Structure 1
Amino acid sequence: MAVTIRDVARASGVHVSTVSRTFSAPHLVNAETRTRVLAVAEGLGYRPNRAARALTTGRTHNLGLIVADIANPFFPPLIKAAQAQARERDYHVFVADTDEDPLLEQELIETLCKQVDGVLLCSPRLSNRVIERLRAQVPFVVVNRRLKGLTTVLMDVGQGAGVAVEHVAGLGHRRMALLTGPQSSWTSEEMLAAATLAARERDIELVVMGPNEPTEQGGLAAARAVAASGVTAVLCYNDLVALGLIEGLRERGVDVPGDVSVIGVDDSLPGRLNRPKLTTITMPTAAAGRMAVDLLLAAVNAGDAGTPTLARLETHLVVRESTAAPARDGGRSILTPT
């Protein structure tokens, strides 16, 4: 016979309502009692009926997680960490990919709102106006987009961009490019503001090129302009753009880092395996995924009484093989771009 909630209560020495709260609202149960009940439930093989619990509590115990591009290696560590964090709190996560399309993103949110208790938006492409309208339907937490009145987790890419400019300045570069990402990207805006300030302070000429697709193809497409620009260093929107740029420059006879130094953002696995290994700004994606789930569940439990939180996670520069001092002869000035 199937194990029931009454069996768990009897074996744990607690009331049925305590067992119910252990699974539906664990934060309301004493830690020692909660541990005992969970251990008994595990030993008996008890599994709560999620559908019945949803009818009783009004909670689905599901969360939505929407990312801009699941094929981008930036997102999988965040998704994996968010799923693990949610699982520890007896929540399931539905993952959806917008393919960088704001209209699809809106459609996915409107669909998920009916099936989840809250939504995590990672690097959203929607306008602030649309997000403000949609947030009335379900609690939101946004990752890497600053929105007034909305709980947000930010990876401080601006701080990393400033350090990247300082790095190339220290190597002796005096003219560098910034390859920005999509037009609606918060990350692009933060990188541009920080890189502009750092370049001014370090007496570096900054050439801004973009918007660009946040993919290897975006980097390949930008290679011609970079080769013709006379810059000796490039800070790219992400690692994929940087890897595409390196390949595009190689096709034009431009050596990295001998002629042009290249820096990415993310510290993804492809950049570590590339030759040259990519100098990059590491992003704490797993920590952001865990923190976003915790903040979202806090918002779900608090309802309208919750206070919006702004959490900022530090980034740092990882120096590898794709950056070096500029060539004495000016490097790329002796090359003929094709």
Structure 2
Amino acid sequence: MATRTGVTIRDVATAAEVSRSTVSRAFTRPQLLSPETVEHVRAVAARLGYVGNQAARALSTGRFGNIAVVVPDIANPFFPPLVRSLQLAAETADLAVFLGDSDESAEREAKLIARLAPQVEGFVLASPRLSEELIRGLAATRPVVLVNRDLDGIPRVLIDSSGGMTEAVLLLKKLGHERLAYLAGPRDSWSDQQRRETLLQTSAKAGLTVEIIEVGRPTYTAGRDSVSALVRSGATAAIAFDDVVSQGVLAGLEVRGISVPADFSLVGCDDTLAPLTTPALTSVSAGAATAGTAAAKLLVDLLEATEPGAGCVTIATHLVTRATTAPAPQPTPQPTPKPTP
């Protein structure tokens, strides 16, 4: 692998008295070497006029130094912190990150992966909508790490919403709410399945009634449009799939003259917009940035390992109580009928 000056990686290895793989790692995976070795190799390379050439390295090794992260909706505020932290972690391993947005479509996700595959060494699939069969097929061909999708045998990062959801239900119970609503997310979302199951189980144990309102794609508009069904349900409190849906619900309730939290209590999930809403939203924390860092580490470990791993990192959640939850409204007392003379 020659540079424009004609100096090869072999020349640098000979002059530095190290192996060619050590020279390569000094430029591509410096974290695998001691700082002294990296400094020595690069100093020798600079003296000889050698500069690592990414394009040439890719042609000779098939490794481009790129990874891809695919998300279902980059406009959802949960994903930017995840992508940002993943990118920062990847950069420490000298990896560039390609980003794909599947627009909540399994078909588009498959097309994105097919187009990115020839250019990347591995994938992070965040909340993938693909079938298990397709994910396992991809994982058989190259390193794959999942975020919020639990498939045995594939490295994954799982944000465990059960703790925070349980706290949310118990808080509403303590505040005197007896009938709750859950504004559900996409049915093929692992996060929604976990949140839905935890909510139903915890509510049943607490003696609470729950109505599921299918929202579908979690958007502001979907949350706002769900308010009619929410009012018909008779619930005095709701837990929404995420903060984006919650923000729409707050707007829809305000239009109807329903005060939060005096008339109605609301809990979001992910804790991404919660401090920015009016009133400030009670929400289940999510740890998106932590998940991104963990996913990058798992993928780097896969790329460097001689044997494939199947690690699982679990991130716990908790409830952050703010201003959208309050005691259940008391029924308006009915006037006592006057006795008939």
Same fold (TM over 0.5): yes
Whole-Å separation in 1 of the counterparts to 2:134 and 2:9: 46
Corresponding position: 1:244 with 2:255? no
1:127-276 correspondence runs (5 A): 127-268=131-272, 270-276=273-279
More displaced 10-residue stretch of structure 1: 202-211 or 280-289: 202-211
User: CA contact under 8 A between 2:127 and 2:189: conserved in structure 1?
Assistant: yes
Report the secondary structure of 2:125's partner residue: strand
1:1-338 correspondence runs (5 A): 9=12, 13-15=16-18, 17=20, 18-26=22-30, 28-34=32-38, 37=41, 48-268=52-272, 270-302=273-305, 305-329=307-331
Report the secondary structure of 2:119's partner residue: coil
User: CA contact under 8 A between 2:29 and 2:93: conserved in structure 1?
Assistant: no
Give how far 1:211 is off: 4.3
Distance change in 2, residues 1:110/1:174 (3 Å): same
Whole-Å separation in 2 of the counterparts to 1:184 and 1:298: 28
Give how far 1:281 is off: 0.8
TM-score (norm 1): 0.89
User: CA contact under 8 A between 1:8 and 1:19: conserved in structure 2?
Assistant: no
Q: What runs of 5+ residues in structure 2 fail to find an aligned partner?
A: 335-341
Report the secondary structure of 1:160's partner residue: helix
More displaced 10-residue stretch of structure 1: 88-97 or 23-32: 23-32
Q: What is the letter of the counterpart of residue 108 of structure 1?
A: L
Q: What is the letter of the counterpart of residue 271 of structure 1?
A: A
Give how far 1:193 is off: 1.0
Give how far 1:253 is off: 1.6
TM-score (norm 2): 0.88
Give how far 1:295 is off: 0.4
Q: What is the letter of the counterpart of residue 287 of structure 2?
A: P
Cα deviation 1:68-126 (Å, max 9, x = unaligned)? 10111111100110111001110000001111111100000111111100000001111
Whole-Å separation in 2 of the counterparts to 1:113 and 1:290: 22
Distance change in 2, residues 1:327/1:152 (3 Å): same
Report the secondary structure of 1:81's partner residue: helix
User: CA contact under 8 A between 1:24 and 1:53: conserved in structure 2?
Assistant: no
> How many percent of aligned residue pairs carry the same amino acid?
38
Q: What is the letter of the counterpart of residue 314 of structure 2?
A: R
Q: What is the letter of the counterpart of residue 174 of structure 1?
A: E
Give how far 1:298 is off: 1.3
Q: What is the letter of the counterpart of residue 321 of structure 1?
A: A
Q: What is the letter of the counterpart of residue 285 of structure 1?
A: A
Distance change in 2, residues 1:38/1:280 (3 Å): farther
Give how far 1:57 is off: 3.0
Cα deviation 1:302-330 (Å, max 9, x = unaligned)? 35x22311110011111111111112227
Distance change in 2, residues 1:259/1:13 (3 Å): same
Q: What runs of 5+ residues in structure 1 fail to find an aligned partner?
A: 334-338
Give how far 1:34 is off: 3.0
Report the secondary structure of 1:329's partner residue: coil
Report the secondary structure of 1:220's partner residue: helix
User: CA contact under 8 A between 1:277 and 1:321: conserved in structure 2?
Assistant: yes
Report the secondary structure of 1:184's partner residue: coil
Give how far 1:62 is off: 0.3
Larger gyration radius, structure 1 or structure 2: 2
User: CA contact under 8 A between 2:127 and 2:149: conserved in structure 1?
Assistant: yes
User: CA contact under 8 A between 1:83 and 1:92: conserved in structure 2?
Assistant: yes
Q: What is the letter of the counterpart of residue 247 of structure 2?
A: L
User: CA contact under 8 A between 2:238 and 2:267: conserved in structure 1?
Assistant: yes
